[in-house]
Amino acid sequence: MGRFHRHSDGTAHDLGHDPGPPALHSDLGDHSGYDDARERVEILERILGENDRTAEANRQDFRAAGVRVVNLMSSPGAGKTSLLRATLERAADLVRIGIVEGDIYTSIDADRLSGFGAAVSLVNTANGFGGECHLDATMVRSALGRLDLPSLDLLVIENVGNLVCPAEFSVGEDARAMVYSVTEGEEKPLKYPAMFRAVEVAVINKVDLLPYLEFDIDRFLGNLADVNPDAQVIMTSARTGAGLDEWCDWLTQRAGGSVAAG
Ligand SMILES: Nc1nc2c(ncn2[C@@H]2O[C@H](COP(=O)(O)OP(=O)(O)OP(=O)(O)O)[C@@H](O)[C@H]2O)c(=O)[nH]1
Ligand SMILES: [Mg+2]
């Protein structure tokens, strides 16, 4: 049996060996397509049930330790690590921040976030987790043993760069946020709505590049509002520091007032 990966439209992909979708029509008396589909649904429900149970165990551990947890997601390269680095530069000596760094390969981003006083725990999904394109609750749990949770106020999980799959897996977080780069175009909320719907804040990053782009910010914000009218929007540049006060204020609020922006 392969590893199944659920997508937000309800389909499941067997990542090990994908036999393709079951036949829509079968010969009389041949219900193998139906049975195959039903078996897939049962396996999928079991996997998602397991993820939810592990997410709940994570949540209980976070509560017991008194740590608030933010799941930070984005496309590859939108600026998650840059934003976190700038955040640590401003706030790490004032508050106790831990990071779970999720990447398929390498410790490059974990290394970029070290040396700022924050505990960083790396999960490479290629190392025992099949090279998955997202973090699930079990992967996050595997990183928790390397962190002293009670010594933290806030744990930020930098998810694997991917605009689809990370939004589908609860990891026991208190809040979900995304970083979106102005270089990604105006239409992505409509094309990838699951991610934009899943978050309570959308950080629009790289605003220092706006003068050089044809990015229509109003059209983008309209598209975002179409799929998630409740999303808070924060405009940032990890390069210039624009908007970082507002971002740190949001973290302050999500961490129960224990994070103070520098
Ligand atoms: N001009 C500009 N460049 C930025 C900004 N934020 C990040 N970058 C650049 O964008 C590139 C990707 O940034 P990262 O912080 O690695 O992005 P990421 O989301 O962590 O990427 P993955 O972890 O690979 O998904 C780097 O070259 C950064 O220097 C910004 O605000 N302005
Ligand atoms: Mg990164």
The CA distance from 158 to 80, in Å, is 7
- Report the nearest atom of ligand 1 relative to the CA of 160: 25
Q: What is the reported pTM?
A: 0.86
Cα–Cα nearest to 135, from 109, 101, 110, 108: 101
Cα–Cα nearest to 236, from 197, 259, 205: 205
68-73 and 175-181: which strand pairing?
parallel
For the chain, which residues make up each domain, given as ranges?
48-254
From the CB of 134, is ligand 1 less than 6 Å away? no
The pLDDT, as a whole number, for residue 12 is 46
Taking the centre of ligand 2 as the mean of its atom positions, its distance from the CA of residue 206, in whole angstroms, is 14
**Token pair 């997508």 in the structure block, residue:** 7
The pLDDT, as a whole number, for residue 11 is 45
Taking the centre of ligand 2 as the mean of its atom positions, its distance from the CA of residue 71, in whole angstroms, is 13
Q: How far is CA 140 from CA 78, 171, 189, 253, in A?
A: 21, 7, 26, 23
Dihedral sign, Cα of residue 146, residue 99, residue 227, residue 213? negative
The pLDDT, as a whole number, for residue 254 is 77
The pLDDT, as a whole number, for residue 48 is 74
pLDDT, tens digit (0-9, with 9 covering 90-100), for 76-113: 999 999 999 999 999 866 789 999 999 999 999 999 99
Dihedral sign, Cα of residue 27, residue 28, residue 34, residue 35? negative
Q: Write out residues in the chain with pLDDT < 50, as ranges.
A: 1-4, 6, 8-28, 258-262
- Residue 180, class by beta-carbon neighbours within 10 Å (0-12 exposed, 13-18 middle, 19+ buried)? buried
The pLDDT, as a whole number, for residue 111 is 98
The CA distance from 11 to 201, in Å, is 27
From the CB of 159, is ligand 1 less than 6 Å away? no
CA 4 to chain centre: 19
The ligand with the least distance to the CA atom of 166 is 1
The CA distance from 63 to 69, in Å, is 10
The pLDDT, as a whole number, for residue 4 is 47
Can you name the residues that pair with 103 across neighbouring β-strands?
Answer: 124
In 3-state terms, what secondary structure has residue 117?
Answer: coil
Q: How far is CA 30 from CA 1, 24, 26, 191, 208, in A?
A: 22, 12, 6, 37, 61
Taking the centre of ligand 1 as the mean of its atom positions, its distance from the CA of residue 93, in whole angstroms, is 23
How many CB atoms lie under 10 A from the CB of residue 191?
Answer: 12
Cα–Cα nearest to 67, from 91, 89, 90, 98: 98
Q: Residues 48-254: name the CATH superfamily.
A: P-loop containing nucleotide triphosphate hydrolases (3.40.50.300)
The CA distance from 150 to 15, in Å, is 37
pLDDT, tens digit (0-9, with 9 covering 90-100), for 215-251: 999 999 999 999 999 999 999 999 999 999 999 989 8
Residue to substitute in 81, 99, 234 for testing ligand 1 pocket (most ligand atoms within 8 angstroms of CB): 81
E-assigned strand segments in the chain: 4-6, 12-14, 68-73, 97-103, 119-124, 154-158, 175-181, 201-205, 232-235
Taking the centre of ligand 2 as the mean of its atom positions, its distance from the CA of residue 109, in whole angstroms, is 5
